[in-house]
């Protein structure tokens, strides 16, 4: 049977969505928090010859809506590539030779604030290893033991524990040392400050710390040596039966241990402060009317514009093709960046206002006032994809009268009560915490009892869900919360 191959030409219509480079850039800029946006714009100002900051720069209230002309047209829209014909500055033919012109700060005899800030910046705090090496240098010992001690210090974890074998410590020394030298050096290292350093486990660290304390620590030592597991499970009657101490004595000893002993002694050295969070959105109570004022924080709306001389260079036919292409490329990239920044500003402000409107009760009542709010619902309301909402709130924070919170915090699922009211999970968590805080400490509530009380309030929730929320809030189990007389 003969077979034939043939080719035919046909036309068909179909719709497909493609991401253009400009759209990809807009999505990337939309996702950046304010600190990253400032760094991104700064890099663009350095690399793009057509981009510059408009003068004057944005005042403190830079979160106000974009300025418009009498026809309602946004100023940024009037400064794009499509309006290059209205740029009037004459083209400078020597521009390429001397590079793009940037506004320079003329020295007026006043000190540079940036240099002043650099001079006043605090020195980097001493690390744990530096702190110990400075002490170790004053210890009188032989050369091999000294090298072994230095190797021990370099092998300590940030929390101050030694979690490697002596063989690994010995092989890290230069020149190499024996494991016997490491064994001799370890007790000397453990005498350094802070107390409890270079321990192999928690028990050894706590015992080292107890040795450095004055007074009679017999009860505390007994608890650490034999009953750490019982303490973690709050089995005080079992400890009393095994040791012969009264529960009151054990309770007081545990209080003293919590006040004086540190489970991670290495963390007591060095600066472990958390870097500050820069909010992208600020919410305040309005001066009049009792409403809420939503604005963007400083840095979210850099006033960018296209340089007039570069725009004229891109249009002038008196220039060579290479010059025009160079200028045109930079102008197009600058216009795309300006559009992306403006899109981010408008979208972030729109989403923030919608969140504040829907979560209004949070600002009056706190976390218990949070309602069910899903990104998909907000995206449908605003006519966009849920991924756009996700990018808009990603890694961004809002400063409110009730503290600083991630924007994602206000998106929460939930359930319905018997009356049909939507209750968010955060509100349920808050209610669980309130029940625990009001319980009888001698007879704490079990998880199933908490679930039963919530059910009586119309909130249908399982015991396992209560246990999950309790663990997320670092609330111990009932047996660990029980107080003994």
**Least confidently predicted of 37-46, 162-171, 231-240, 284-293:** 284-293
Tell me how far CA of residue 94 lies from CA of 97, 185, 299, in angstroms.
Answer: 5, 71, 34
Least confident range of 267-281, 334-348, 451-465, 466-480: 267-281
**pLDDT tier at 100 (50, 70, 90 boundaries)?**
very low
Asked whether the predicted pLDDT for residue 106 surpasses 70, the reply is no
pLDDT at 9: 79
Whether the per-residue pLDDT at 216 is higher than 60: the answer is yes
Q: Is the pLDDT of residue 460 over 70?
A: yes
* Of 340-349, 366-375, 414-423, highest mean pLDDT: 340-349
CA proximity to 373, closest of 349, 351, 403, 397: 351
Q: With pLDDT > 90 as the criterion, what percentage of the chain qualifies?
A: 32
10-63 confidence digits (pLDDT tens): 777 766 555 567 778 888 888 899 889 999 999 999 998 888 888 654 444 444
Q: What is the dihedral of CA 172, 175, 178, 182, to 10 degrees?
A: -60
Q: What is the structure's pLDDT at 422?
A: 60
With a cut of 50, say whether residue 73 has pLDDT above it.
no
- pLDDT at residue 275 tops 90: no
pLDDT at 128 over 50: yes
pTM: 0.58
* Cα separation of the two ends of the chain: 99
- Average pLDDT estimate for 225-254: 91
- Average confidence (pLDDT) over 319-323: 83
Is 480's pLDDT higher than 90?
A: no
Cα gap 43→45, rounded to integer Å? 5
User: What is the model's pLDDT at position 99?
Assistant: 41
pLDDT at 286: 85
Evaluate if residue 476 carries a pLDDT over 60.
Answer: yes
Which contacts (CB < 8 Å, 24+ apart) does range 320-328 have? Answer: 323/96, 327/49, 327/50
Tell me what the pLDDT averaged over the chain comes to: 80
Question: 159 and 264 in contact (C-beta within 8 Å)?
Answer: yes
Radius of gyration of the chain measured on its C-alpha atoms: 33
**What was the pLDDT predicted at 398?**
92
pLDDT of residue 146: 93
Nearest-angstrom CA–CA distance, 91 and 406:
48
The pLDDT of residue 54 is 81
pLDDT in tens, 366-392: 877 888 888 888 989 888 888 889 989
Q: Would you tell me how many other CB atoms lie within 10 Å of the CB of residue 245?
A: 19
Q: Give residue 482's pLDDT.
A: 84
Its sign, for the CA torsion 137, 138, 144, 148, is negative
Please answer whether residues 328 and 100 qualify as being in contact, where contact means their C-beta atoms are separated by less than 8 angstroms.
Answer: no
Neighbouring C-beta atoms of residue 251, cutoff 10 Å: 16
* Higher pLDDT, residue 339 or 62: 339
Q: Is the pLDDT of residue 75 over 80?
A: no
Mean pLDDT of 214-225: 91
Residue 331 tokens, joined:
């102008």
- Cβ atoms of 281 and 348 within 8 Å: the answer is yes
pLDDT tier, 469 (very low <50, low <70, confident <90, very high otherwise): confident
Residue count of the chain, please give it. Answer: 485
Which backbone phi and psi does 185 adopt, to 5 degrees?
-75, -30
Contact 426, 63 (CB under 8 A): no
Higher per-residue confidence, 185 vs 421: 185
Choice among 90-99, 160-169, 204-213, 379-388 with the minimum mean pLDDT: 90-99
pLDDT, mean of residues 131-160: 92
| The pLDDT of residue 153 is above 90 | yes
Give 50 or 92, the one with higher predicted confidence.
Answer: 50
| Per-residue three-class SS string for the chain | CCCCCCCCCCCCCCCCCCCCHHHHHHHHHHHCCHHHHHHHHHHHHHHCCCEEECCCCCCCCCCCCCCECCCCCECCHHHCHHHHHHCCCCCCCCHHHHCCCCCCCCCCCCCCHHHHHHHCCCCCCCCHHHHHHHHHCCCCCCHHHHHHHHHHHHHCCCCCCCCCCHHHHHHHCCCCCCHHHHHHHHHHHCCCCCCCCCCCCHHHHHHHHHHCCCCCCHHHHHHHHHCHHHHHCCCHHHHHHHHCCCHHHHHHHHHHHHHHCCCCHHHHCCCCCCCCCCCCEEEEECCCCCCEEEEECCCCCCCEEECHHHHHHHHCCCCCHHHHHHHHHHHHHHHHHHHHHHHHHHHHHHHHHHHHHHCHHHHHHCHHHCCCECHHHHHHHHCCCHHHHHHHHCCCEEEECCEEEEHHHHCECEEECCCCCEEEHHHHHHHHHHHHHCCCCCCCCCHHHHHHHHHHCCCCCCHHHHHHHHHHCCCCCHHHHCCCC
Interval 94-116 mean pLDDT: 43
What six digits make up the tokens of 224? 């650490």
Residue 428, φ and ψ in degrees, nearest 5: -65, -40
């Amino acid at each position: 049977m003969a077979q034939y191959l043939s080719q035919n030409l046909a036309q068909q219509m179909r719709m497909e969505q493609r991401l253009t480079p400009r759209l990809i850039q807009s999505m990337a800029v939309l996702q950046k928090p304010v600190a990253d946006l400032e760094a991104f714009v700064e890099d663009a100002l350095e690399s793009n010859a057509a981009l510059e900051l408009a003068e004057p720069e944005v005042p403190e209230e830079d979160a106000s809506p974009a300025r418009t002309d009498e026809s309602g047209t946004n100023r940024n829209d009037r400064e794009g590539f499509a309006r290059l014909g209205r740029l009037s500055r004459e083209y400078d033919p020597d521009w390429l030779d001397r590079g793009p012109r940037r506004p320079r700060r003329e020295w007026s005899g006043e000190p540079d604030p940036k240099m002043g800030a650099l001079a006043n910046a605090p020195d980097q705090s001493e690390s744990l290893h530096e702190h110990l090496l400075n002490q170790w240098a004053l210890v009188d010992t032989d050369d091999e033991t000294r090298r072994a001690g230095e190797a021990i210090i370099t092998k300590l974890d940030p929390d101050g524990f030694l979690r490697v074998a002596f063989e690994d410590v010995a092989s890290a020394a230069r020149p190499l040392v024996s494991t016997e030298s490491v064994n001799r050096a370890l007790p000397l290292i453990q005498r350094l400050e802070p107390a409890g350093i270079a321990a192999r486990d928690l028990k050894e660290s706590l015992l080292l710390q107890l040795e450095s304390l004055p007074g009679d620590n017999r009860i505390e030592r007994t608890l650490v040596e034999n009953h750490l597991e019982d303490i973690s499970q709050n089995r005080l009657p079992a400890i009393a039966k095994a040791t012969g101490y009264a529960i009151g004595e054990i309770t007081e000893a545990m209080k003293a241990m919590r006040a004086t002993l540190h489970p991670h002694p290495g963390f007591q050295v060095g600066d472990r402060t958390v870097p500050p969070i820069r909010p992208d959105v600020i919410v305040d109570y309005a001066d009049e009317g009792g409403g809420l004022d939503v604005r963007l924080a400083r840095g979210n709306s850099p006033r960018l514009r296209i340089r007039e001389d570069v725009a004229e260079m891109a249009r002038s036919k008196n220039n060579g093709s290479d010059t025009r292409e160079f200028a045109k490329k930079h102008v197009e990239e600058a216009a795309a960046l300006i559009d992306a920044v403006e899109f981010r500003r408008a979208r972030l402000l729109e989403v923030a206002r919608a969140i504040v409107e829907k979560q209004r009760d949070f600002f009056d009542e706190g976390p218990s006032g949070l309602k069910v709010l899903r990104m998909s619902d907000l995206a449908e309301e605003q006519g966009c994809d849920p991924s756009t909402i996700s990018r808009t709130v990603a890694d961004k924070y809002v400063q409110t009268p009730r503290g600083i919170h991630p924007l994602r915090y206000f998106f929460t699922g939930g359930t319905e009560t018997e009356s049909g009211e939507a209750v968010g999970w955060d509100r349920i968590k808050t209610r669980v915490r309130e029940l625990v805080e009001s319980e009888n400490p001698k007879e704490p509530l079990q998880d199933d009892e908490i679930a039963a009380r919530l059910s009586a309030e119309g909130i249908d929730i399982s015991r396992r869900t209560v246990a999950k929320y309790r663990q997320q809030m670092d609330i111990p189990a009932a047996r660990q919360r029980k107080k003994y007389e």
